[in-house]
Amino acid sequence: MNEFWIILTGILAAASCGAVGCFLVLRKMAMIGDAISHSVLPGIVIAFLISGSRDSLPMLLGASVLGLVTVFLIQLFHQQGVQSDASIGVVFTALFSAGVVLVSLYTRQIDLDLDCVLYGEIAYAAWDTLTVGGVDIGPKSVWALGIALILNLTLIGIFYKQFKLCAFDPALAAALGIPVALFHYMLMGLVSVTTVASFESVGAILVVGMLVVPAATAYLLTERLGLMILYSMGIGSLSAVLGYIAASLLDASIAGAMISVAGLLFILAFLFSPLQGYVWKKLRQRSKAVQPV
Amino acid sequence: MNGFFELLQDPNVRSILLGCMLLGLSSGVLGSFAYLRKQSLMGDALSHAALPGICIAFMLTGVKSVGIFLIGAALAGLIATFGIGWITRHSKIKQDAALGIVLSVFFGFGIVLLTRIQHSGSGNQSGLDKFLFGQAAALNRDDVRVMAVVSAILIAVCILLFKEFKLLSFDPGFARGMGMPVGLLDQLMMLLLVVAVVVGIQAVGVVLMSALLITPAVSARYWTERLGVMTALSGLFGALSGLAGTWISTAGGNLPTGPLSVLAATVWFLLSVLFAPGRGAAAKLLLRRSARRELASAQTRAVIAASPASSGAQTMGKGEQQA
């Protein structure tokens, strides 16, 4: 039963990250996912200090607020003339250090394992169950991730057209009267919620892998946005399952193995994708070089 | 201030201080080139990518030695830069996603190796852990000696190749036209970055190393328009952040040095954004206000000169001012 819960947690995390990750890759904001996943740390610590418990809800709130603050600050400094990548780097490292300092300031009073926040420990997810009215209804992380996934899919489903237009042509979207900034912040909000919900399973640093790698793999396989989202979720889930198997064979970190498998799938797509594959391109070049005369 | 000098009597504190300042200095200098070449986040990717290199180096040799770790990390970093370049050149994936992919896959693979090492029980895991998060407090005199030599080499290379790096940062196309080996210089700069990151990881850890490469350089950019001055300022800011971090950390209880240095650098960055002459927010605001006033008075004067009825002209001037 534990195995089932662990794999389900992995699949849910991969699917919800995969869905929002597509938009990050398309909008060239992959590193913002990285930034958010690091900078939610102080949000989690502050929520923990205020609420005094390790309940998921206050942490989720604190982290989501910090995620939006991160995006806002990045935008602000960018408008002040800092290059966008440097602005990302300044903001997330500063917030992350603030988080680490907070953890070490209050490390005696709180029981928050920094390693666990950063690397995640999906193996423990199965034991931390939620009971409602005395009935055990499954692990907390499954519920958190399930809600995050449903939220992602619902919002993306309702505003699919708007998100699509904002991803490919923000200028046209603005001209058509779509509130681009609102959708930007909505997407960022979804990224923060997904990141935080995935914490317990894949950890802060590996969330970025789940956000970017399956989405980039899907990007190589198709040219249609709808299919890309589906492929991305599927590839993420596949790497979660294969990663779990690999991890139990090797007796190693599950989250790490999932990302490694996702990386392998990316390399396969990079080499052999029917549309973009490196190998096919090279073969085509060679046959073209031979044929003429 | 007295307390600070008393602290300096302690040889441990002295080596930590020296190490952090050297680190800030060399990463500040290199960071200013990275910033101008829009590769600020490269340091982030490289520092994450170093993990599997360190783990493999440990697995192969079984010894926990800084020198061997550095070689492993440098090799992994070089493979990572090649990987990023390869992905962006041969597919439609952009630089940011390529960075994200390489960073997370290398790091994930590194975590797999790390847990393998821990579970097999052969390694004293604490050593490797410290390498990740960094521990300035654990710097000893030998480490500082290594850091001093490496920083000196890095800065010397930057000074010797200043003209080439300058051209490469601003106009790589022109540099190629001049017959410079652009590809080689590009790789050399990456190599310098890898070396700086690898040396720094030990003191401040993976995540915060990228801050030392980015933040001082961005701050320095606010104070000057000249590359030479910017590079020097960036190094200075980096060194001062190291100093401030060590000072607060040794004076105020049990706080980690690395994050404090980064926070010090960030405070300086905020001050630069707000108050730097010319480019800062305050200066821009003042400039805009004085320009608007000048424009309004010029308009008023023009209107007064054009029409004999001066009272009507003034209201018109006000109207335009509001518009």
Per the CB < 8 Å rule, is B262 touching A81? no
Query: Is residue A43's pLDDT more than 60?
Result: yes
Confidence bin at A268 (pLDDT 50/70/90): very high
Point out the least confidently predicted range of A66-80, B103-117, B191-205: B191-205
Q: Which range has the top average pLDDT, A66-70, A284-288, B68-72, B307-311?
A: A66-70
- Which residues partner with A139 through β-bridges? A129
| DSSP H/E element including A235 | helix A225-250
Task: Name the strand (E) or helix (H) holding A129.
Answer: strand A129-132
Q: What are B7's two structure tokens?
A: 């602290």
Least Cα distance to A20 among A260, A254, A212, A177 occurs for: A212
Q: Kindly determine whether residue A281 and residue B105, on different chains, have CB atoms separated by under 8 Å.
A: no
- Of B199, B304, B226, B215, the C-alpha closest to B259 is B215
Question: What torsion, rounded to 10 degrees, do the Cα atoms A121, A155, A35, A216 define?
Answer: 80
CA–CA min distance B302, chain A (Å): 34
Residue A38 to residue B208: CA distance in whole angstroms: 11
**Residue A222 has which token pair?**
């198709």
Contacts of B273 in chain A (CB under 8 A): 77, 80, 82
Our measurement of the distance from residue B27's CA atom to the centroid of its chain's CA atoms, rounded to an integer in Å, reads 6
Residue B319 has pLDDT above 50, yes or no: no
In B, residues 137-176, which contact A (CB 8 Å cutoff)? Answer: none
**Residue B257 distance to chain A (closest CA, Å):** 9
- The conformation of residue B136, written as its DSSP 8-state character, comes to G
Query: What are the tokens at A271?
Result: 């080499």
CB contact under 8 A, B207 and A38: yes
Buried b (16+ CB within 10 A) or exposed e, B194-203: bbbbbbbbbb
Per-residue pLDDT of A103-138, as tens digits, reads 777 765 555 555 555 656 666 666 666 666 666 667
Q: Which residues contact A105 (CB under 8 A, 6 or more apart)?
A: B255
Query: Within a 13 Å sphere around the CA of A56, how many CA atoms are in the beta-carbon half?
Result: 22
Position B313 pLDDT exceeds 60: no
Q: What is the pLDDT of residue B321?
A: 47
Q: Determine the distance from the C-alpha atom of residue A283 to the mean position of all C-alpha atoms in its chain, rounded to a whole number.
A: 35
Q: Are A277 and A221 in contact (CB under 8 A)?
A: no
User: Mean of the pLDDT values across residues B37-44?
Assistant: 84
How does residue B143 score in pLDDT terms, banded at 50, 70 and 90?
Answer: confident
* Model confidence pLDDT, tens digit, residues B234-287: 999 999 998 888 888 877 766 778 888 889 999 999 999 888 887 788 888 888
> Which of B100, B112, B218 is closest, CB to CB, to A212?
B100
What is the tens place of the pLDDT at every residue in B98-128? 999 998 899 889 888 888 887 776 555 545 6
What does the block give as tokens for B292? 């608007």
Closest C-alpha among B184, B219, B201, B255 to residue B55: B201
> Rounded to whole angstroms, how far apart are CA atoms B168 and B183?
10
CB-based burial label for A17 (10 Å; 0-12, 13-18, 19+): buried
What pLDDT digit, counting tens, does each position of B267-281 carry?
A: 999 999 888 887 788
Length of chain A, please? Answer: 293
Chain B (199-228) residues lying within 8 Å, Cβ to Cβ, of chain A: 207-208, 210-211, 213-215, 217-218, 221
Q: ipTM beyond 0.95?
A: no
What type of residue sits at position A245? I
Say if residues A168 and A183 touch (Cβ distance below 8 Å): no
Q: What is the pLDDT of residues B153-182, one digit of tens each?
A: 999 999 998 888 888 888 888 888 888 888
Compute the distance between CA of residue B125 and CA of residue B118 in angstroms, rounded to an integer: 6
For an interface test with B, the pick among A36, A78, A97, A211 (most B C-beta atoms closer than 10 Å) comes out as A97
Q: A with B: how many residue pairs have Cβ under 8 Å apart?
A: 197
